[in-house]
Amino acid sequence: MSSPKSASNDQRPDKDELSSEEKISLDDNELMLDDSVVDAIEEDMRPEAEPTEQPAEAPEAAADPVVEYQDPPESDGQVPADPEPSEAPVADDPDIEKVVEEIAETEEIDAEIAEEEPPHHELKPAKAESEIVVFLKKLWHNPRARYGIFGGLFVTLFILAVIPNTRYFILNTARVRSSVEVRVIDNSTLQPLKNVTVKAANANAQTDSDGVAKLTGVKLGRTKLIIEKRAYAAQEKTVTVGWGSNPLGEFQVVPVGSQYTFYIRDFASGKPIARAEASSGEGNASSDEEGKLVLALDTATMEDSAQVSVQITADGYRDETMNITVNNKETQSINMVPDRKHVFVSKRSGKYDVYSVDVDGKNERRIVGGSGYERDEISLIPHPTGEFAAYVATRENTRNQSGYLLDTLYILDVESGDLMRIDQSEQIQVVGWSKSGRLVYVKIAAGASGTDPKRHRLMSFNNEDHSDTKELASSNSFNDVMMANDRVFYAPSNIFQESEPAMYVVDPDGKNSQKLLGKEIFSILRTDYETLYLNANNEWYEHVLGSPMAASSSAPGTQTNRMYLDSPDGKRSAWIDSRDGKGVLIGRTKDTGEETTLVDRGGLKLPMYWLNNDYLVFRISDGRETADYLLNVTGGEARKIIDTTDTSGIGRWFYY
């Protein structure tokens, strides 16, 4: 009879047919396995892996989550120990051991495969978005909500922009700044005031000679505009500063200090001078069209007998200074004198000295002392506008091989008295100054033979660039040379010349040379401002200035040569004629072409030059005196400047 144990063994299935999925029963030394136990064992033996969080579901249109890969943890190939059963130990059971071995082998194979495969990386979960971000994204993807937001913002900004205070606050916060411009005038004279302090918000400025003050970097909005000047009542006004420029117009200030009245006039013509300026300390004022000037000064703390120094200035005139008594309110007349110096030669010391003097005879000063070697043929030709003069003299006592004194050409600085040596020759004659500041002259080459075809040389010196000296032309001699309309006309002699005779014109800088006539010209006559007559051995040709050629003509009605000198601005011209034994100074207006007699007097002669656009200087030598005179061509009488030695200037060409 079999025992229960043997019966049980007989009923047990073959161990080869056992699997991890079948049930196992434990009875005493037997272990009965069911599916749940097998699963638990496999779970315990499986290597532990770090838990992987699943990424949260992304909202619509969200970007793909960032993926980060990590290597799986390495397995040491050891199978975790079995949990101890609650009843009999199972370590010696061959069936369990076989199952465990099969599971271990399976995991070893899996580990080897994992080592051969490339490492897998785990996905890094995306950060969870805040509720606000999600809410805003939902609003953005809702067209109606999105348009509503934009519409609301637009309306809000529009309302803020319409309200000035809010608008200016926003712009000022954004550091937006503006500018302000005002003009300040005297209430009593309606003339602009200079050096008036103008303040607005955080900016301030002072008015210029036109009474205009420009303030920049001004904050926007309502602010106080403050205008202050000593001896005037302060003015305060609330203004609104907008975006951009803000021309606030004209403001009148009322004088409260002592007022002093002046009339400013030209000393030669007696005509009023507008825009002259008077200043004393912080006080200043300017004259109107009638020359009237009212100066307001703060004299509250001064004694009545105190002296106040007032300086009067005007463009183109010498500064004048006068002292007035505080309690003297009488109207003062001020005659203004041109600020340019007149230069002349005098032999009062026994030598030919060069002097400068103001044209009212004041501030005379010797600027070049004579050497004692000067001949009587001295030339002094002032520059058209600058404080310079061309000066020709034999002062260096340099002689040629025959013992003849050589002329030396200098540029004289009238202010300093410095002489700059330009050229030296047996004889030098100045033709004239060009508008560009070039000096044109003719020299006879020192030591040259009388038959030398280049004995006479027509030269041009640039006073702006002293290295720029040009030879415009050369000849054995020149029959005639003159300047007209800022061009140089010259007629070379045909003596000892290989080239065909001709008449030429060229610019003072040597450019635009042009042949006017293919004949030898013996003299050039300027019969009016626009016309030259050319004498070719009693054959006459007419040349209109600016035209390319000269045309055959009959003899001119007069043989008088008019030597026109143009004013610096080119608006006027003048020339000297001889009528009834007297010299006649004639002025011409360029716009109308009208000519009028300015001065009619015996002994009136060249040299003559323009001191400025209104003043002419000329010479009187009548046997009683030799003196230089001044005339304002806009009106008034000629005035004597000073006695002088008779020297030459720009004159008629003389043939050597």
- DSSP secondary structure string for all residues of 542-585: EEETTSSS-EEEPPPS--PPP--EE-TTSSEEEEEEEETTEEEE
Phi/psi-derived region of residue 361, left when phi > 0, alpha when psi is between -120 and 50, beta in every other case = left
Return the DSSP state at 379: E
Cβ neighbours for 439, distance < 8 A, ≥ 6 positions apart: 390, 411, 422, 430, 433, 460, 461, 463
What integer pLDDT is reported at residue 338 of this predicted model? 97
* Residue 384 identity: P
**How are beta strands 258-266 and 332-336 bridged, if at all?**
parallel
**Which of these ranges, 73-77, 144-148, 443-447, 590-594, has the smallest mean pLDDT?**
73-77
Closest to 417 measured CA to CA, from 339, 344, 355: 355
CA distance 483 to 324: 51
What integer pLDDT is reported at residue 44 of this predicted model? 55
Closest to 619 measured CA to CA, from 602, 637, 635: 602
Q: Please, where in the chain does CATH 2.60.40.4130 lie?
A: 178-253
Backbone phi, psi, residue 8, to 5°: -65, -40
The two tokens of residue 382 are 């002032």
Q: List % helix, strand, coil for the chain (3-state, nearest 5).
A: 15, 40, 45
User: Is CATH 3.40.1130.10 the right assignment for the domain spanning 258-336?
Assistant: no
Closest to 567 measured CA to CA, from 598, 545, 542, 544: 598
**Model confidence band, residue 450 (pLDDT cutoffs 50, 70, 90):** confident
Backbone phi, psi, residue 109, to 5°: -60, -45
Q: Please, where in the chain does CATH 2.60.40.1120 lie?
A: 258-336
Residue 502, Cα to own-chain centre: how many angstroms? 48
Question: How confident is the model over 426-434, as a mean pLDDT?
Answer: 95
Residue 17 pLDDT more than 70? no
What integer pLDDT is reported at residue 148 of this predicted model? 72
The two tokens of residue 434 are 């060009």
**Model confidence band, residue 204 (pLDDT cutoffs 50, 70, 90):** very high
Length of the chain: 656
CA distance 544 to 115: 112
CA distance 318 to 336: 7
Candidates 3.40.50.300, 3.30.565.10, 3.40.50.620, 2.120.10.60; CATH matching 426-528+530-553: 2.120.10.60
Q: How many Cβ atoms are within 10 Å of 111's Cβ, its own excluded? A: 15
632 to 318, 358, 407: CA distances (angstroms): 16, 15, 34
Closest to 451 measured CA to CA, from 496, 491, 397: 496
**How are beta strands 379-382 and 365-368 bridged, if at all?**
unpaired
Residue 655 pLDDT more than 70? no
Residue 161 pLDDT more than 50? yes
> What pTM does this model have?
0.72
What integer pLDDT is reported at residue 95 of this predicted model? 65
CA distance 66 to 497: 102
**How are beta strands 539-544 and 551-553 bridged, if at all?**
antiparallel
Residue 62 pLDDT more than 60? no
Strand partners, 342: 357
Contact call for residues 334 and 262 (beta carbons, < 8 A)? yes
For the chain, the average pLDDT equals: 84
Residue with structure tokens 């020192």? 446
The SS3 assignment for 143 reads helix
Q: Please, where in the chain does CATH 2.120.10.60 lie?
A: 426-528+530-553
What integer pLDDT is reported at residue 206 of this predicted model? 95
Q: Would you identify the CATH topology of the domain 178-253?
A: Immunoglobulin-like (2.60.40)
Angle among Cα 376, 381, 385 to the nearest 5 degrees reads: 160
For every residue of 605-650, DSSP letters joined together read EEEEEESSSSEEEEEEESSS-EEEEEEETTSS--EEEEE----B-S
Closest to 585 measured CA to CA, from 632, 552, 550, 649: 632
For every residue of 152-199, DSSP letters joined together read HHHHHHHHHHHSHHHHHHHHHHTT--EEEEEEEEETTT--B-SS-EEE
Q: How many CA atoms lie within 13 A of 650 on its CB side?
A: 29
Contact call for residues 528 and 521 (beta carbons, < 8 A)? no
**Model confidence band, residue 453 (pLDDT cutoffs 50, 70, 90):** confident
Question: How confident is the model over 173-200, as a mean pLDDT?
Answer: 91
pLDDT in tens, 113-147: 555 555 544 555 555 567 777 777 776 777 777 66
Residue 650 pLDDT more than 50? yes
pLDDT in tens, 621-646: 999 999 999 999 999 999 999 999 99
What integer pLDDT is reported at residue 473 of this predicted model? 96
Strand partners, 618: 629
For every residue of 253-269, DSSP letters joined together read E-B-SEEEEEEEEETTT
Question: How confident is the model over 91-96, as a mean pLDDT?
Answer: 60
Give the containing element (helix H, strand E) for 457. strand 456-462
Contact call for residues 419 and 432 (beta carbons, < 8 A)? no
- Across the beta sheet with 438-444, what order do the strands follow? 427-433, 438-444, 456-462, 469-475
pLDDT in tens, 124-133: 555 556 777 7
Number of helices (H), then strands (E), belonging to the chain: the values are: 6, 43
- Sign of the Cα torsion 388, 389, 392, 395 reads negative
